[in-house]
Structure 1
Amino acid sequence: MARNAEKAMTALARWRRMKEEEERGPLAKRPHDVKECRSLEDAERFRSDITREASKKIAAIQNPGLGEFKLRDLNDEINKLLKLKLTWEGRIKELGGTDYRKYASKELDAQGREVRSARGYKYFGAAKDLPGVRELFEKSNEQEVLRKNRAELMKDIDAHYFGYLDDDDGVLIPLESAVEKEAIAKIEQDFEEKGGETAARQSAKGYEDIYKIEDDGQEDLESHETKVVGDDGRPMTIRHVLIPSQQDIEEVLLEQKKQELLFKYV
C-alpha cells in the first residue's frame, strides 16, 4: 500500500508540475547576450539559474579527492558563472529591477577592510590548497598587514606636524632673530668693502658714457672700423662688414654668365 501511495503522490506531483508549466507558458532560453533579454522576469530567472548552478559547483569543489586538474576546471567554471551572474545583475538593474550589487555582502578581514581576494579571480574550497595558490594567499595576507588605510596614516597628523605651534614654545623666535642679525651684519660688511671700491671706480671714471663712440679722426671708408669704450674702461675695435646690395649681386651674376658664355663659344 505504501508503494502505491508513493507512486500516486509522484504521479500527482508530476501532473501538478506539468499544469503549472502549461499556465506559465513556454520558458525562454537564456541568450548569450544579456541585451537580448527585455523581460525583467526572465532576467531574474536566468540569474537564479546561474546562482543555483554556481552553488552546486562550489559544493562539489569542497572535495579534495577530485584531483588537481578537476579542481582547477571547477574553479574556472565557478568564476565564469560569477562573472555571468554580475552581468545579469547589471541587466536587471537596467530593466528597473533590484540592484543586487548594492546589497551584496562583502568579504572583510579582521580590521573590517575588504580583502583583495574578493575582487577579480577567486579560489574556492579545495582549490585554495593547490600548488602555487597557498603561497599566493600568504603573500596577499602579508601585503594586507603591511598596507595602511587613510585613517591609520592620518591618525598621528596634527597641528604640530604642519608646524602651526612651533612659535608658541619661545625657542624658535630667538634663534631666528640671532641668525637674522648675523645675516644683516654680513651684508653690511660686504657692502662697506665692495661698495666703497665701486664708488671709487665710478668717481675715477667720471661717470663716462659707456655707449659713447670715439671718432678716430679718419674718414677712410676702406677701413670700416669704429672704436668703442667698454664697461671696464678698455677701448674695443668694431669692424664693420659691408653687405652688398641687390644691384651688386645682379651685376656679379650677370658678369658670371658672360664669362661662361665666352668660355663656351670662344
Structure 2
Amino acid sequence: MARNEEKAHAMLNRYWAQVADERRQLQPEVRPFDINECSDLARAQHWRQQVVTDLDEKTTLIQNESLGEHKLRDLNDTINRLLLERWKWEKRIFELGGPNLMRSQTPPEYQYFGATKMIPSIREVISKQAPDTRKKTRKELLRNVDYEYYGFCDESPELLEAERRAEIEVW
C-alpha cells in the first residue's frame, strides 16, 4: 500500500513541477518605463491590468493605521504614481484603437488615501483645500431663480418681429 501512495505523491510532485515550469515561462517582462514604446494593444491592456492590480494591493495596505507615518506617506506617493501610470496606459490604449477607459482627459491630481488622511500635517492640508460640500437648502437654491429662469424674459425684438411676420403669413 505504501507503494501506491508513493506513486501518487510522485505524480503530484511532477504535476506541480510542470505547473511551476509553465509559470516561469509565462513570467512577463518588466513593465516598460516609456509607455509609448508599447505598440501592441493586447500588451498595453496587460500592462494596464498589472498597474490596476498593483493599485488594488497598495490601497488595501494603506488602510492600516499602524504602519507608521513614513510608510503611509511612501504608500500614498506610490498610489498617486500608479494612478498617473494607469491614466497614461489608458490614454495609450485609446491611441492604439482600444476602448476609451479614461475617466477624464486630464491626468489625476495628487490625492490622499486611507490612513494617510489621519496624519496631523496632512489633515491640516486637507482641511485648507476642502471646498464647502454641505448641501444647499431649498431657500438657497431658489434665491437665484428669477423671471429668466422660467423663460419669461427670452423675447428679444428680433424674435418678436419674426413671430409677427409668421402670424401674418399664417392668416
Shared fold by TM > 0.5?
A: yes
Distance in 1 separating the partners of 2:82 and 2:75: 11
**Helix, strand or coil: the match of 1:143?**
coil
One-letter code aligned to 1:87: K
Match of 1:36 in 2: 37
Structure 1 residue 139 displacement after superposition:
4.4
Distance in 2 separating the partners of 1:17 and 1:98: 34
Q: How does 1:1-266 map to 2 (within 5 A)?
A: 9=12, 11-16=14-19, 18-19=21-22, 22=25, 27-102=28-103, 119-145=108-134, 152=141, 156-159=145-148, 164=153
One-letter code aligned to 2:73: R
Moved over 6 A (4+): 1-7, 160-163
Q: Deviations over 1:155-207 (max 9, x none)?
A: 6132499995xxxxxxxxxxxxxxxxxxxxxxxxxxxxxxxxxxxxxxxxxxx
Fraction of identical pairs, as percent: 33
* Cα pair distance change 1:41/1:134, threshold 3 Å: same
RMSD over equivalenced CA pairs, Å: 3.8
Distance in 1 separating the partners of 2:16 and 2:144: 65
Structure having the higher Rg: 1
Q: Is residue 58–residue 78 contact of structure 1 (8 Å, CA) maintained in 2?
A: yes
Distance in 2 separating the partners of 1:128 and 1:7: 53
Q: Is residue 92–residue 98 contact of structure 1 (8 Å, CA) maintained in 2?
A: yes
Distance in 1 separating the partners of 2:9 and 2:53: 28
* TM-score relative to the length of structure 2: 0.65
Higher share in strand: 1
**Helix, strand or coil: the match of 1:100?**
coil
Structure 1 unaligned spans of 5+:
105-118, 165-266
Greater relative contact order, per chain length (Cα 8 Å cut-off, separation 6+): 2
Higher share in helix: 2
* Cα pair distance change 1:92/1:160, threshold 3 Å: closer
* Cα pair distance change 1:70/1:27, threshold 3 Å: closer
One-letter code aligned to 2:134: V
Distance in 1 separating the partners of 2:74 and 2:97: 35
Q: Is residue 28–residue 42 contact of structure 1 (8 Å, CA) maintained in 2?
A: no
Distance in 2 separating the partners of 1:81 and 1:159: 47
**Helix, strand or coil: the match of 2:134?**
helix
Structure 1 residue 137 displacement after superposition:
3.6
Distance in 2 separating the partners of 1:5 and 1:32: 46
Distance in 2 separating the partners of 1:68 and 1:4: 54
